[in-house]
Amino acid sequence: MIDLTVVQKKDNESTENLIRRFNRKVVQSGVLSLAKKRRFHQQKPNRRARRTEAIREEKRRQARAKRMGWY
């Protein structure tokens, strides 16, 4: 679902300020990042791929914890 971002021009507001306000609203709403994510269809990872990714992430966390001296 796409949210519409609408910005009304205020009295005595310059065009530059209006565009700046619109850009800020678009960034805050996350519409642009969502569109970039959905640009290409990606298949969901199968069970094996999820498992290997989880193992890799856990090893990364453990290595970071060891470097930081947490254990």
Distance CA 8, CA 14 (A): 12
Per-residue confidence (pLDDT) for residue 24, from 0 to 100: 93
Residue 70 has pLDDT above 80, yes or no: yes
pTM: 0.49
Read off the pLDDT of residues 2-27 as tens digits, 9 standing for 90 and up. 668 889 999 999 999 999 999 999 99
Instruction: Name the 3-class secondary structure at 27.
Output: helix
| The predicted structure's pLDDT at residue 19 | 95
Helical ranges in the chain per DSSP H: 15-29, 31-37, 47-68
CA distances, 63 to each of 8, 20, 54, 59 (Å): 51, 43, 14, 6
Question: Which residues 6+ apart lie within 8 Å of 26 measured at CB?
Answer: 5, 32
Domain ranges in the chain are 1-40, 42-71
